């Protein structure tokens, strides 16, 4: 029997869309530590982009073809506290939808491999 991907475990595309909506609306955009980075952002486009990225990162079928992380964050000069806030919000969004803590930690570890491509750019 094939092992189920994290993408499948969290409920696939529909579930990830709900996580992303909650992530932005209830957490990121209400957090003064990071919400300033989204002031001039097309949030509909951002949500679609983030849904594809998270789906890809969790082993889903959506092929992420967006800009590299380093290029996407160039000129933002994100600091560790900004990165940590986003990771915390993603954790909390996944937990809000009852994703198992071990699966959350696995997902965050995968996304954590991009940390150096995001910070200080």
In-domain check, residue 4: no
User: What's residue 2's pLDDT?
Assistant: 54
Domain that holds residue 23: 10-118
Residue pLDDT tens, the chain, 121 long = 456 888 998 889 999 999 999 999 999 999 999 999 999 999 999 999 899 888 887 888 866 676 788 888 888 999 999 999 999 999 999 999 999 999 999 989 988 998 999 998 8
120's enclosing H/E stretch is none
Of the candidates 84, 78, 98, 91, the residue with the CA atom closest to the CA atom of residue 9: 98
Q: Whole-structure pTM over 0.85, yes or no?
A: yes
Residues 6+ apart with CB under 8 A from 85: 31, 33, 34
What are the tens digits of pLDDT across the range 2-18? 568 889 988 899 999 99
Backbone angles phi, psi at 52, to 5 degrees: -65, -45
Q: What is the pLDDT of residue 72?
A: 86
Domain count, the chain: 1
Count of C-beta atoms within a 10 Å radius of residue 60: 20
Percentages helix, strand, coil for the chain (3-state, rounded to 5) are 65, 0, 35
Distance CA 35, CA 33 (A): 6
The answer to whether residue 3 sits within a structural domain is no
Task: Supply the pLDDT for residue 67.
Answer: 77
Among residues 9, 24, 119, the alpha carbon closest in space to that of 73 is found at 119
Burial class (CB within 10 angstroms; exposed 0-12, middle 13-18, buried 19+) of 80? exposed
* Residue 5 included in any domain: no
Q: How big is the chain, counted in residues?
A: 121
The answer to whether position 79 is within a domain reads yes
CATH number of the domain enclosing 109: 1.10.490.10
């Amino acid at each position: 029997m094939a092992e189920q991907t994290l993408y499948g475990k969290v409920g696939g595309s529909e579930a990830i869309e709900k996580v992303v909506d909650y992530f932005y609306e209830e957490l990121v955009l209400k957090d003064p530590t990071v919400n300033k980075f989204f002031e001039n952002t097309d949030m509909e486009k951002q949500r679609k982009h983030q849904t594809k990225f998270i789906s890809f990162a969790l082993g889903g079928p959506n092929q992420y073809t967006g800009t590299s992380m380093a290029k996407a964050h160039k000129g933002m000069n994100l600091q560790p506290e900004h990165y940590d806030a986003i990771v915390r919000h993603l954790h909390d969004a996944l937990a809000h939808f009852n994703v198992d803590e071990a699966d959350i930690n696995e997902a965050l570890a995968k996304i954590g491999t991009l940390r150096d491509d995001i910070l200080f750019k």
